[in-house]
Amino acid sequence: MDKIDQVSAFTFSVRMVSSIQVVSRVIELFALRDDPLHALTLSTDGRGQILTITVPSLTPARADVVAWKMRNIVGVEAVAVAADDTNYTGTVRDQQVLDVP
């Protein structure tokens, strides 16, 4: 199996404005494909919200598409994604590093 086809867990960290509508749009990206979520946390700070979502089984290509779609949602300021599989060495388009404590 090529690395592009390998299934791994991915964690998405999304900085966004404080809006439940934006949160629901981000989660909807997984609901539309019936992707199971392993963990989901939402925290707030003085600049907005950070939504962290762990999905247990995505291919790198799918994670790339999801991150790109997240970044294009109005109200999303930045998206960072990390593969929980240390063997994954790919990159994700439009990846931005968040200053998440």
Per residue in 42-100, pLDDT (tens digit) is: 999 888 999 999 999 888 888 889 999 999 999 999 999 888 765 444 444 444 444 44
In 3D, which of 79, 78, 72 has the Cα closest to residue 11? Answer: 79
Per residue in 19-46, pLDDT (tens digit) is: 999 999 999 999 998 988 999 999 998 8
pLDDT of residue 82: 86
pLDDT band for position 5 (cuts 50, 70, 90): low
Token look-up 């970044």 returns 71
SS3 content of the chain, % helix, strand, coil (to 5): 25, 35, 40
